[in-house]
Amino acid sequence: MSSTQWEYKIVDHSNSTSMGYSNPETEEFKVKHKDKDWKLEMMNLEINKLGREGWEMIHSNGSNEIYLKRKIEK
């Protein structure tokens, strides 16, 4: 029997504030990524950051909420 334990997280990527960016940071990001879909770029950066922290995506309900899990280290 497996004794792996997981923690779960729901991340809201509906806007830059929910991703942890202030309004001035968002405006700077928009300018820097003006030739791309800035919101998609920001979301991808945040998802990759979570991945480096050990989070695995297990579900997405469209473009707003992403469900993640990671192993709890004992």
pLDDT digit string, tens, across residues 11-66: 888 888 877 788 899 899 899 998 998 888 988 888 899 999 999 999 988 768 89
Cβ atoms within 10 Å, residue 23: 9
Where exactly are the structural domains of the chain?
6-71
Q: What is the pLDDT of residue 63?
A: 67
The order of strands in the sheet holding 6-12 is 6-12, 65-71, 56-60
Q: What is the three-class DSSP state of 10?
A: strand
What's the rounded Cα separation, in Å, for the pair 72 and 8? 10
When comparing pLDDT for 7 and 18, which is higher?
Answer: 7
Confirm whether pTM is higher than 0.85.
Answer: no
Q: What is the pLDDT of residue 48?
A: 93
